Amino acid sequence: MNQFANALGKKFLENQELVRTRSFEFGGHIFQIKVPTTLEFEAITERVKLIDNDLVNKYYQELSTPFIQNKDKFVEEGVEFKEDDVLIKNRSLKETAKNKAITENRITEMFKLIVPEDKTFDMNTITYEMVEELFPFSIQLEVVDHITKTISPSYESAKGK
User: What is the reported pLDDT for 159?
Assistant: 53
- In this structure, is residue 4 part of a structural domain? no
Residue 9: is its pLDDT beyond 90? no
| Range picked from 8-12, 42-46, 76-80 for highest mean pLDDT | 42-46
Structural domain containing residue 67: 20-151
Q: What is this structure's pTM?
A: 0.86
- In this structure, is residue 80 part of a structural domain? yes
- In this structure, is residue 156 part of a structural domain? no
Residues 103-114, mean pLDDT to the nearest whole number: 97
User: What is the reported pLDDT for 1?
Assistant: 61
Count of domains for the chain: 1
Residue type, 98: K
Could you give the CA distance from residue 148 to residue 121 in angstroms, rounded to a whole number? Answer: 22
Residues 73-88, mean pLDDT to the nearest whole number: 91
